[in-house]
């Protein structure tokens, strides 16, 4: 049984982990056998994420794919803790904050396979693959039904727990600080599509995945549907860009365009 949050055990464990940590985000095993993650403050966290989204936004012109401002450092840690607590109170499966100090957070581990890995593991079993695709869509919709939103809902930030449960990680920024709630919700779906459309195409299930996408988006509030449709309409011209020399960034957007 784990210790209470911010107990002397976890606070001491956090200090011990930091004494040997070499990365901003790193996995550790505690003396009680528990696996945890420790994020320490840096000058600016996860710069690579900003490159990914800036490139996608620049090529596509889709405003929703623009990265949310992130000051990094201690501010980022505070945002992460606040968002995790808000989501947990709403019943969303996210890591638990175990210990905090000014320059670091320790959070629980919620699973080893993200959804993208899970897609790869079952990519030859199309029925299961499509079930996993639908599971991700349903999980995002469930977050929205609780009047909550995610940060960057790419499949790599969605943890496959079992056939009926997805957990969410990576909350260093707060999209609601830069956009409205409907825009946050539309952005969540667009990030998911950006991370999965090309893989569904490469795995030979794009038609089926597209139908599942349209079925779920049709159930969303009109404001969210409008933002998604307007965003995807901007890249309809990219649908025929399938040659490998265009590069992965462009091919991901071209695959998204085929979901219009």
Decide which of 99 and 56 is more confident.
Answer: 99
Is the model's pLDDT at 246 over the cut of 70?
Answer: no
Calculate the CA dihedral of residues 197, 112, 150, 147 and round it to 10 degrees.
110
Q: Give the pLDDT band of residue 167 (cuts 50, 70, 90).
A: very high
Decide which of 70 and 175 is more confident.
Answer: 175
pLDDT for position 66: 64
Six-digit token string for 83: 């968002």
Q: Give the pLDDT band of residue 259 (cuts 50, 70, 90).
A: very high
Looking up tokens 């009926």, which residue turns up? 164
pLDDT for position 34: 95
Mean predicted confidence (pLDDT) in 94-109: 95
Fold of 8-40+71-108: Phosphorylase Kinase; domain 1 (3.30.200)
Domains of the chain, by residue range, sit at: 8-40+71-108, 115-257
What are the DSSP E strand ranges found in the chain?
Answer: 25-29, 35-40, 97-101, 104-108, 158-162, 165-168
Mean predicted confidence (pLDDT) in 132-153: 97
pLDDT for position 45: 47
pLDDT for position 48: 47
């Amino acid at each position: 049984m784990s210790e209470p949050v911010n107990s002397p055990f976890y606070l001491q464990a956090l200090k011990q982990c930091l004494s040997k940590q070499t990365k901003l985000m790193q996995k550790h095993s505690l003396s009680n056998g528990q696996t945890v993650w420790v994020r320490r403050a840096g000058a600016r966290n996860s710069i690579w994420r900003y490159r990914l989204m800036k490139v996608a936004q620049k090529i596509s012109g889709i405003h929703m794919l623009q990265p949310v401002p992130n000051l990094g450092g201690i501010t980022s840690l505070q945002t992460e803790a606040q968002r995790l607590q808000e989501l947990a109170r709403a019943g969303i499966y996210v890591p638990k904050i175990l210990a905090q100090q000014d320059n670091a957070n320790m959070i629980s581990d919620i699973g080893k396979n993200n959804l993208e890995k899970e897609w790869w593991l079952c990519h030859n079993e199309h029925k299961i693959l499509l079930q996993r695709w639908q599971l991700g869509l349903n999980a995002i919709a469930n977050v929205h039904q609780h009047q909550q939103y995610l940060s960057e809902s790419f499949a790599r930030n969605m943890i496959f727990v079992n056939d009926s449960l997805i957990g969410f990680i990576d909350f260093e920024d707060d999209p609601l600080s830069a956009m409205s709630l409907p825009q946050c919700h539309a952005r969540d779906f667009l990030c998911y599509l950006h991370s999965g459309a090309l893989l569904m195409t490469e795995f030979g299930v794009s038609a089926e995945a597209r139908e599942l996408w349209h079925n779920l988006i049709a159930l969303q509030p009109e404001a969210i549907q409008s933002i998604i449709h307007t965003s995807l309409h901007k890249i309809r011209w990219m649908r025929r860009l399938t040659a490998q020399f265009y590069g992965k960034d462009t091919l991901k957007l071209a695959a998204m365009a085929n979901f219009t």
